[in-house]
Structure 1
């Protein structure tokens, strides 16, 4: 007892050792302090990190799209160096942008360690470029790591490059040029060893770190050189809350580090309880006696709108099947909408009806139809059958026109509008994070069910783009680098104001034409076609647009620059639950090339992705960055709010704004409008059919 009382000053008595946690390094990504480890966070993990180690202030965003792949976008301020001449940068410190990647080569087994291969500053300026091979082995609460690094993390150069036996070029590492292109000097130069220990203390919130790094700080970027009293770094991480870590360390033997990490897992986190949704209608004890031709379908349509989120277009009957045509406008997960609609229909018609079919439409274009067996659905909701029985019987098919009896047609409501907040951002250049917060009014008027006008009125509330003084040199027409002028010339703007027409041209073929103010910088006319077979993991589309540059005030004025732009795009599912899109065509600056987009969408709709664009523009014409690339995150608001919604939050991190590889930001995309043709999305979330 006395030992236990004495020990309570350090560790609470009886507390078991905490589970191992994967925390972020100073550079972002799972690691120790200045060194990475082979460990990976769970798939879907997302973290935002900030830390300070004189003279570096680092801000990073790390994402784990796959359990074996980690990506990081990092923004570093070198605070003892100016961005350039004082006439150019004023007092702004030098800013560096970088993209990192780490790939797991082998997962830890009983005898063998986990092994990972990583690249730091993979496609940035190259100032902190490094490559490494690292291994980890855990024994209880202690996790050991050891690795070899080339470049920045291995600048101590402990020994000659073992790859030199293959080619003499591996013995010399080229100097970083700051171009933003992919390096041609991977694994070159003298490497160094690094390693360390992560210890999960018996007190669950606290982890300790010790490492030996391979950087001697004698050749830091921008002609910096620091004294290193010791290559051993010591640190700790304290879990302040479930999603907040704070860290502190003593590095180089003479320098303090302090940092904070905000993190969550977007794939496994529980969405908030939808307390502001209407309750799901209860099922009747038995079917009503009302035959389909005597139902008050106007009242049923209103309930389908209010509770199931369907804007009903018409209701028909084909034999024992009741069919509802309409647009879903509330529930992100179609299974939830279908389940609620089935409850309402089950309360409305007699037992002549055995199937409920919901035909999902977008602007009168049938996308898919979901058919629910009435009896099985009722048994599952009442917990008398397993959900898997319903999974096997529910059918998601191509919407088809068949002989049917019209029961009801809903009069159209042509005008709709909404009010909300808008947010825009730009990361890059000497001015750091630029942003705008606006009050937005969006409106839509439907002349017919598939011909409509749409517009957006935006009022500036908060904006720091007037500090964006850097007009990047370019050898191309300024199709995007006049960003500051568009963001600061007027407080009330019309980002979009356009007329649209969409139509299903064949069973799997869709088409669309549009014209007007298409985005904040361009007006014009265009068209798109998409071939997307039902239930298939691929599609092919094409768009063609004639556009003219808009005035900086984003009103109806136009500037002289005009061009034709368009792309052919192939979409496909890839191994490892990835989705890919390859677009080939002509960009806004009249350059020709291709964009590759790779992403991972989790079952809850969260999407993490990255893109890269290469065109026939030379590095000199493009300017800093050499080519266009970036990361993005798309999160359904349904995962964040206590009210169901189909809207998304889209965040994009593009290291630089340049004119090469710039695409038209169209308001509508046939591929996103036809997402319902991917039946896997429904079946992955079929558990929501009972909610």
Structure 2
């Protein structure tokens, strides 16, 4: 059965007659009309999964809006009347094309001037549908007009002279030979362009909007000699908002071809996380201050409450003058302000009026990270609605954790053994063996702490369901096979040991952290290594370095090792960029013994959801790297706290790379000092400060 879907992202609208047109996605993914983009952008934080069908193309795309002026789209196109490869390898699978699109707003709409955007379609991959364009939009009541000029696929009609040809004759001709997977900047804005545009009409009926566009493509130059008959350059369509998260589209394109489609979408900034119905309620504040002496409090019981209700695994409770100190590790609440507030409630129910401050010293594997000090009276007044939250915001302190002279009131040794169970999932998309190869597994993992700073960790995984038996294609490699033996690692054994290692972490100085580790570090490599991180408290930058000696593991992921071994490691700088972007730049040696740089750019929203992407260039040449030319990809990281009815610090990390190759491959380390010291990010605490009262 063929999937017949198209895409549309709809934003909430008014029932008024002159409601503003909604921003909807085009056939390729990304805000637009049908075949063409517009200058409009979805709100920051928007994520859309789109599927559409316009014969002979089925398109499946993911669109992200990391910034209000920047849009990214990642797409697979199935050319259903062309085969992927030989029947022996691909069976009846149709040809799949991978692509990346980017659009940036250059000018925001004002009273007189239109909104203007610059975009690039299919900038990575085969370049079959590559195009560059400028487009402008202007709104009038319930109509939104767009007009643009495009080179390449969107402008394949090519019915006008290239205005850039007046600058240089080379712009008059568009090169046809491109490098698969490369950016191919030598084709940008070259060849004869065409105009495109259209209008969106928001009907008086809120769920329905209508589209009409003039297509800049005449379909006489389709990829793989797959030219289509176009009876009319006018495309029409309708978008229906089924509910807040599902949109449907139907249309008529090329004057002879039907369009149908669906989009699933959400916004990680405006959406509300589920109510934490499975969390224990926060303790109410006492009606009067306890009078019992601190030495008479049942601190063992308080410690249990701090773990069960506030998420702190208590190591020690102490007094320093008028300050009550709790030393421990936050293990439950993603928002540290929420944990600090709940702990303050518990301590307020236990301490007499000697205590004016509650301080929680957060430690990770016995490494002091940060300490949060809450003024008792202000906190109580805010919770009782007698003072504004801004007063508590101004007086609550988040500082570097330092050694204190204090009096120990209670000390306990945490349970050394912890464990968990879960389901795992991995996939391979868009390969010649099958569009989706997947594996679902069950795993058990555990951790044993010999001391608070020395621990062993590992797990066992059992295959439950997979179709990797279709995985027949072993891609050629001109480098050591450090990642492209994936098929053997997935299919050799149904029971595997993904990791088993011994770790030691320590704070070496007030802003310097270190860690050493050894064992079976990931599914493909065993070895030993270490990491250093310099991260000043409250600063928006840090720098780290890791060095590892590793040896390849046997395909069954047991205790055996293969012959290949290498030294790999990187120096990484982390910094905050303008527009709330984060950058991590790593320079060093990769698993295939190539040297190079990885640049990771991401946007993390206040709720912890992160959209990001990376690109790696190394000393491996395009010929050595093979198809794709260099390593690149995108990822989404979503706190489970945003999706579940119980608080948790865990994350769902989803990464997508066009190809698995050997160049630019990094070791997948289980622990990262930068992640372990996230409490040093004051911004994250204060951006979610209102949760201190929950």
TM-score (norm 2): 0.97
Q: What's the counterpart of residue 169 of structure 2?
A: 168
Q: What's the counterpart of residue 281 of structure 1?
A: 283
Alignment of 1:230-309 (within 5 A): 230-309=232-311
Q: How far off its partner does 1:87 sit?
A: 4.2
**CA distance, structure 2, for counterparts of residue 356 and residue 673 of structure 1:** 23
Q: What's the counterpart of residue 11 of structure 1?
A: none
Q: How far off its partner does 1:259 sit?
A: 1.0
Of residues 591, 599, 602, the one that matches 1:596 is: 599
Q: How far off its partner does 1:409 sit?
A: 0.8
**CA distance, structure 1, for counterparts of residue 652 and residue 107 of structure 2:** 35
Q: Tell me how large the CA RMSD over aligned residues is.
A: 1.1
Q: What's the counterpart of residue 655 of structure 1?
A: 658
For structure 2, the residue ranges without an aligned partner over 5 or more in a row are 1-14
**CA distance, structure 2, for counterparts of residue 445 and residue 480 of structure 1:** 30
Q: How far off its partner does 1:370 sit?
A: 0.3
Q: Deviations over 1:533-576 (max 9, x none)?
A: 00000000000111111111111111111111100000000000
Q: Deviations over 1:650-682 (max 9, x none)?
A: 111111111111111110000011001011100
**CA distance, structure 2, for counterparts of residue 610 and residue 196 of structure 1:** 32
Q: Deviations over 1:111-164 (max 9, x none)?
A: 110000000011221111100000000111110000000001111101111001
Q: How far off its partner does 1:16 sit?
A: 4.1
Q: What's the counterpart of residue 83 of structure 2?
A: 82
Q: What's the counterpart of residue 426 of structure 2?
A: 424
**CA distance, structure 2, for counterparts of residue 690 and residue 176 of structure 1:** 61
Q: What's the counterpart of residue 524 of structure 2?
A: 521
**CA distance, structure 2, for counterparts of residue 645 and residue 574 of structure 1:** 28
- Does residue 92 of structure 1 match 2:93? yes
Q: What's the counterpart of residue 113 of structure 1?
A: 114
Alignment of 1:401-550 (within 5 A): 401-430=403-432, 431-550=434-553
SS at match of 1:159: coil
Q: What's the counterpart of residue 128 of structure 1?
A: 129
- Does residue 669 of structure 1 match 2:672? yes
**CA distance, structure 2, for counterparts of residue 669 and residue 195 of structure 1:** 48
Q: How far off its partner does 1:17 sit?
A: 4.7
Of residues 357, 363, 368, the one that matches 2:359 is: 357
**CA distance, structure 1, for counterparts of residue 631 and residue 418 of structure 2:** 37
**CA distance, structure 1, for counterparts of residue 156 and residue 86 of structure 2:** 29
- Does residue 192 of structure 1 match 2:194? yes
Q: What's the counterpart of residue 373 of structure 1?
A: 375
SS at match of 1:676: helix
**CA distance, structure 1, for counterparts of residue 20 and residue 136 of structure 2:** 20
Q: How far off its partner does 1:334 sit?
A: 0.4
Q: How far off its partner does 1:89 sit?
A: 3.1
CA contact (8 A) 1:426 1:653 kept: no
For structure 1, the residue ranges without an aligned partner over 5 or more in a row are 1-13
Q: How far off its partner does 1:86 sit?
A: 3.5
- Number of residue equivalences: 678
**CA distance, structure 1, for counterparts of residue 102 and residue 95 of structure 2:** 23
Q: Deviations over 1:273-328 (max 9, x none)?
A: 10010000000011101222221111100000010011001111111001101111
Q: How far off its partner does 1:15 sit?
A: 6.2
**CA distance, structure 1, for counterparts of residue 626 and residue 80 of structure 2:** 24
**CA distance, structure 1, for counterparts of residue 468 and residue 178 of structure 2:** 29
Q: What's the counterpart of residue 338 of structure 2?
A: 336
CA contact (8 A) 2:175 2:187 kept: yes
SS at match of 1:98: strand
Of residues 312, 315, 335, the one that matches 2:314 is: 312
Q: How far off its partner does 1:53 sit?
A: 1.0
CA contact (8 A) 1:126 1:176 kept: no
- Does residue 45 of structure 1 match 2:46? yes
Q: Deviations over 1:381-414 (max 9, x none)?
A: 0000000000000000000002111111112210
Q: Deviations over 1:198-234 (max 9, x none)?
A: 1111111111110011111111111211111111111
CA contact (8 A) 1:99 1:123 kept: yes
Q: What's the counterpart of residue 66 of structure 1?
A: 67
When structure 1 is superposed on structure 2, of 550-559 and 573-582 the one drifting more is 550-559
CA contact (8 A) 1:437 1:463 kept: yes
Q: How far off its partner does 1:603 sit?
A: 0.4
Of residues 210, 215, 218, the one that matches 2:217 is: 215
